[in-house]
Amino acid sequence: MSGHAGLRYAFARVHHGETEMVSHLEHLAAKHRADHEIYFVALDMAEWSRTNLRQSAQVAADHDIGLSQRSPGPGPLDRLQEGMSTLLGRRPEPGLLLLEDLRDAYLRASQTSLAWEMLAQHAQAAHDTDILELAGRCHPQNLRQIRWCNTMLKTLAPQTLTSL
């Protein structure tokens, strides 16, 4: 089938992007346990990426494309990190680390967003309503992750940077 390699490429990009989002958001949470809003919201949003992974794997399978349905879980390192960050999080340096990590999350989420764009554009051109519907469901969640990273960075940057 013509275009199947392109579809495989787009799905692979989405899968890679969302897999990274799960692990990055969970890592962000673990590392910044003492910044409570970051911790809880990052974990809530990691769940959205898990859902996106599950749903995209299903639709990909319908198109004979195998994506691993196993979504990453928090590793032992994250748990260790969580304990460390609670202990260390009450010092000033983590403020700058948090800005770095939010910046990184924003960039990863943006890459994932571009992957969803490519998948949706492929679906438009190929008249594939299943994939269009998938992108319509999942891409907005990814965009919300981007907006959150931007909001938190904007909120925390002035105090963090002027106090260094």
Partner 1 sequence: MVHGATDRLIDPWGARTPYGPGDTWPARVDECYADGIEPTQAQRWVQTASLLHSNGDAMDIAVADGQIVGVRGRAEDRVNRGRLDIKDLFAWQANNATDRLTQPLLRRDGELVPVNWDTAMAAVVGRSRQLLDSDGPGAIAFYTTGQLFAEEYYTLATIARAGIGTNHLDGNTRLCTATAGEALKETFGSDGQPASYTDVDFADVIALFGHNVAETQPVLWMRILDRLAGPEPPRLLVVDPRRTAVAAKATVHLAPRPGTNLAVMNALLHEVIAHKWVDQSWVDEHTVGFDELQQRVADCTPEWAAEICDLDADDIRAAAALVGSAERLLATVLQGFYQSHQATAAAVQVNNLVLLRGMLGRPGCGVLQMNGQPTAENTRECGANGDLPGFRNWENTEHIAQLAKVWNVEPLQIPHYTPPTHAMQIFRYAEQGSVKFLWISGTNPAVSLPELSRIRSILAKVGLFVVVQDIFLSETAQLADVVLPAATWGENTGVFTNADRTVHLSEQAVEPPGAARSDLNIFLEYAAAMRLTDKDGEPLIKWTDPESAFEAWKQCSAGRPCDYSGLSYALLREHGGIQWPVTADAPVGTERLYSDGHFWAAPDVCESYGRDLATGASVEETEYRALNPNGKAILKAAEFVPLHEDVSDEYPMQLITGRTIFHFHTRTKTGRTPQLRAAAPDVWAELSPIDAARLEVSEGDLIDVESPRGAIRAAVRLTESRPGVVFVPFHYGYWDVARSGPEAGQPGRAANELTITDWDPVSKQPIFKTSVCRVSRVPGSEDVPGAADELLAAADETTAADQRYGAADEMSQR
Please give the residues from 16 up to 35 whose contact with partner 1 meets the rule CB under 8 A.
Answer: 34-35
- Report whether 20 contacts 112 (CB < 8 A): yes
Find the length of the chain: 164
Identified binder of partner 1 from the candidate list 61, 77, 87, 147, rule CB under 8 A: 147
Q: Which of 5, 70, 76, 158 binds partner 1 (CB under 8 A)?
A: 158
Nearest Cα neighbor of 38 from 138, 160, 156 is: 156
Minimum distance from CB of 148 to partner 1 (Å)?
A: 4
Binding mask 67-106 for partner 1 (x = CB under 8 A): -----------------------xxx-xx-----------
Residue written as token pair 């989420």: 109
What is the residue type of 138?
Answer: C
Q: How many residues bind partner 1 (CB under 8 A)?
A: 27
- Are the C-beta atoms of 97 and 106 separated by less than 8 Å? no
CA distances from 134 to 73, 130, 150, 159, 163 (A): 23, 6, 25, 40, 44
44 scored as a contact of partner 1 (CB under 8 A): yes
Nearer to partner 1, 64 or 133 (CB): 133
- Give the residues lining the site for partner 1 (CB under 8 A): 34-37, 40-41, 43-45, 90-92, 94-95, 144-145, 147-148, 150-151, 154-155, 158-160, 162-163
